[in-house]
Structure 1
Amino acid sequence: MSDAGVAARLGPLLHRILGPDLPVRVRAWDGSEAGPEGAPIFVIRDRRALRRLLWKPGEVGLVRSYVAGELDIEGDVVGALAALQRVLRHGDEPIVLTSEDKREIVRTAVTLGAVGPEPKAPPEERGQGPGLLGETPVGFYERMLGPSRSFGCGLWDGAVNLEEAQAADHADLVARLGLKPGAQVLDLSAGWGVLAALLAAEGAQVTGVTAFTGSVAAGVTPVPEPGGGPYDLIVAPAGTEPVPRLAARLAVLLKPGGRLLARQLVHRQGAVRRPFTSDYVFPHEELATLGSLTETLDAAGLEVRKITARREDYARTLRAWAANLQRTWTPDDQGLSRVWLLHLATTALACELGRIGLYETEAILR
């Protein structure tokens, strides 16, 4: 397409919002395009996307436009967001515009018919729709996670796909844990019981915390929340459980000398925070830093014995889940798919850039 039509008229507006060197190429609703060749392509399907950006310049407007289906991203979503974040460096803070910038943007928006009242936020935002983790249907998770149906981080050294990576991680965990027959184990993120079943096959008595009680693997006792005990071992392999908040409770569930092996996403000290993109899926759950995580475990009576960084492995796992989701996209769950794809992509990007990290912590109850 030539740089004519709506895209050409959008050019000055985009330069004022994103800077003189556009990091992306834009395709407008009339098929016209503007921006550097070979750059990630953002497709503006509706004028309402521009109106959102008028009211909320920056990440907030972009995210809402994408979730609402007014804006699309072609190809690698992680790469496209990385290009944008080079100019949107302050997370959900609005872009600072001069008075002249604002006048020019309004003039352009008027000529394109994009001026009007602020559109409502998509229903998926902040607990008003299906975007929250606890309200995602089981079948959706199955499509996103793929055949392995595992929420855990894969071990990618030598693996060629997600299934191999997660099978390698499970085998590594089972070998390192070295469970004795009869050991009492609590899996905090059992899901369908994939890892829990492997631990049970080693002779352990495994209780799994899961919402999927109707389809958990044989040999695993499903429960809706942590309880019972005392346990020889508590594992939290998915990285999504709020271990700092649960630390005192987990310590009570362990036997003296019992072990905790937990993976936890943490925020790197001093890294730029981008909370808005996670609010759709994990609202009100602020990530700890690695230092505060170890302090919390220590205060609960859990002595940290080993910490292993898994940031790169987790980024590749997130990318694989995002690819699964894009391959199985359906019109019926478009809003939910967009929420999850955005979350997976931004979290993968944050891992790759070192803003957040996944750490595996091993501790014992003193």
Structure 2
Amino acid sequence: MADAALRLKSLVEQVLGAPLPVRIRAWDGSQAGPPHAPALVVRNRRALRRLLFKPGELGLARAWVAGDLDVEGDLYTALDLLAGLIWERGEDARTLGQALRDPEVRAAVRGLIRLAGPPLPPAPPEEEMRRRRGHLHTRRTDKRAISHHYDVGNDFYELVLGPSMVYSCAYWPDPDASLETAQRDKLELVCRKLALKSGQRLLDVGCGWGSLAIHAAREHGVTVVGITLSQEQAAYARKRAADEGLTDRIEIRVQDYRDVRDGPYDAISSIGMAEHVGAARYLEYAQDLYALLKPGGRLLNHQIGRRPQRDESAYSVDEFIDAYVFPDGELQPVGTTVGLLERAGFEVRDVESIREHYAHTLRRWVANLEAGWERAVRLTSPGRARVWRLYMAASALSFERNRIGVNQVLAVRTPESGDAGMPLRARTWN
């Protein structure tokens, strides 16, 4: 069909009930839309079939990961322009079912079907998590979900994360600082909030590649047990500890937090791990950590949170993130997190939002990925590299737009005496 872009743009705008703020460049080379805007490149008709058979984020994600859909121009600008259609229409947006009551919309959908052509819907890209029946957040399903995300190769993570190998929000002294400096400052901030002292025992839940364990042992003289469900992370962390000469003070285990039995610990860190716990298990998670702390011990829970919904019962997980990035991950509002920690027995003493810091961190990770794109593709797959580029860029914008945040919650297992061991001016760590 000649001039497919103009036809596609017209039909999509009829379905959406809104103009497209980006250009369309179709498989026949035709273009339509604002001339100076980034272009949404529809490489083939298969992209339309993916969207028609799975409308919404998952269809878009499948087309992106498979390379059927791309962006020409700045990815952040394109996502920012599309945000009004993807995010900001919110609960006032017409659902597809409502839209299809309109005869003109139904006619537009039929036009898209004709434009897409046969055959049946394409199979999902291989990078998509294959679902199995059963309950969420059992030990088995959690281990499988963690492996899907973290066992994609340590070399790939080195490329994206840089030498610090810290996969959580950095803490920026200024925007021009290096990523390594900002991550070191974050590790030090965690240690100071926990008031770590030589000879204490620290449990690092979700220890990743061992960066916090090494920093705490080397700089603060503590003994650390780090736990992870990723075999690749554990092997990498053990080697790093050995290279630093810290094997006498650092033990890395492949272990579920529910199976730790060797408390009490003086302090517990959980940095970017609690998002994997799940709402149904969160109170159990908090109770388990509470039981592992000695009286007076501190927990630093660093966790991404989402904005509360007007109707929390209608909340659903992000389909793209769930299928391709963090299977079975769940975000909660920070108020919910604080409430569940308190129900478990903790006294919450400090909550610090560092939302803007995560946006800056993600933009640095995207820059690392784009600079090493060819190597990233060789280390994983074209689809996996595309997953990461989209997820990190979109997440950066989500933090910048306050759709999601990240919070460090400092909580204490306050002893019966009531003396929590906190300074009168709590923010002395800053």
Separation in 2 of the partners of 1:242 and 1:104? 40
Separation in 1 of the partners of 2:111 and 2:393? 34
Deviations 1:207-235 (A, max 9, x none): 11233222323222111123233111111
Choose the corresponding residue for 1:101, options 96, 101, 105.
105
- Counterparts in 2 of 1:106-185, with a 5 A limit? 106-107=110-111, 109-110=113-114, 112=115, 114-127=117-130, 132-160=148-176, 161-185=178-202
Deviation at 1:273, TM superposition (A): 5.8
Deviation at 1:205, TM superposition (A): 0.5
SS in structure 1 opposite 2:85? coil
Q: Alpha carbons of 1:94 and 1:223: their partners in 2 closer, same or farther (altered >3 Å)?
A: farther
Bigger mean CA offset, 203-212 vs 80-89: 80-89
Separation in 2 of the partners of 1:122 and 1:340? 14
SS in structure 1 opposite 2:411? strand
- Counterparts in 2 of 1:1-366, with a 5 A limit? 5-88=3-86, 89-90=89-90, 94=96, 96-97=99-100, 98-107=102-111, 109-110=113-114, 112=115, 114-127=117-130, 132-160=148-176, 161-201=178-218, 202-210=220-228, 211=230, 212-216=233-237, 217-218=240-241, 219=246, 220-225=250-255, 226=257, 227=260, 228-238=262-272, 241-242=275-276, 244=282, 246-270=285-309, 275-280=318-323, 281-330=325-374, 331-332=377-378, 333-366=381-414
Q: Alpha carbons of 1:347 and 1:108: their partners in 2 closer, same or farther (altered >3 Å)?
A: closer
Bigger mean CA offset, 153-162 vs 96-105: 96-105
Bigger mean CA offset, 89-98 vs 202-211: 89-98
Separation in 1 of the partners of 2:105 and 2:350? 53
CA contact (8 A) 1:242 1:264 kept: no
Q: TM-score, normalised by structure 2?
A: 0.76
Separation in 1 of the partners of 2:167 and 2:82? 28
Deviations 1:307-354 (A, max 9, x none): 000111112212222222233334441121222233223322222221
Separation in 2 of the partners of 1:208 and 1:199? 11
Deviations 1:169-189 (A, max 9, x none): 223333444322101001123
Q: Alpha carbons of 1:17 and 1:324: their partners in 2 closer, same or farther (altered >3 Å)?
A: farther
Separation in 2 of the partners of 1:250 and 1:180? 20
Deviation at 1:134, TM superposition (A): 4.3
Deviation at 1:255, TM superposition (A): 0.9
Matched AA of 1:205: T
Deviation at 1:164, TM superposition (A): 2.6
SS in structure 1 opposite 2:327? coil
SS in structure 1 opposite 2:123? coil
Deviations 1:145-171 (A, max 9, x none): 122211131112314232232122223
Separation in 1 of the partners of 2:74 and 2:298? 40
Bigger mean CA offset, 323-332 vs 201-210: 323-332
Deviation at 1:304, TM superposition (A): 0.5
Q: Which residue of 1 aligns with 2:423?
A: none
CA contact (8 A) 1:277 1:342 kept: no
CA contact (8 A) 2:12 2:108 kept: no
Deviation at 1:264, TM superposition (A): 1.0
CA contact (8 A) 2:194 2:300 kept: no
Matched AA of 1:142: E
- Gap regions ≥5 residues in structure 1: none
Q: TM-score, normalised by structure 1?
A: 0.88
Deviation at 1:52, TM superposition (A): 1.9
- Gap regions ≥5 residues in structure 2: 132-143, 415-430
Deviations 1:227-273 (A, max 9, x none): 23311111122355546352111111111111000111112112786
Question: For the aligned residues, what is the CA RMSD?
Answer: 2.7
Separation in 1 of the partners of 2:275 and 2:251? 19
Matched AA of 1:253: L
Structure number with the higher helix fraction is: 2
Deviation at 1:360, TM superposition (A): 0.4
CA contact (8 A) 2:14 2:104 kept: no
Identity %: 40
SS in structure 2 opposite 1:206? strand
Separation in 2 of the partners of 1:31 and 1:146? 38
Matched AA of 1:353: R
Separation in 1 of the partners of 2:127 and 2:12? 27
Bigger mean CA offset, 237-246 vs 157-166: 237-246
Deviation at 1:31, TM superposition (A): 2.4
Deviation at 1:40, TM superposition (A): 2.5
Separation in 1 of the partners of 2:273 and 2:298? 17
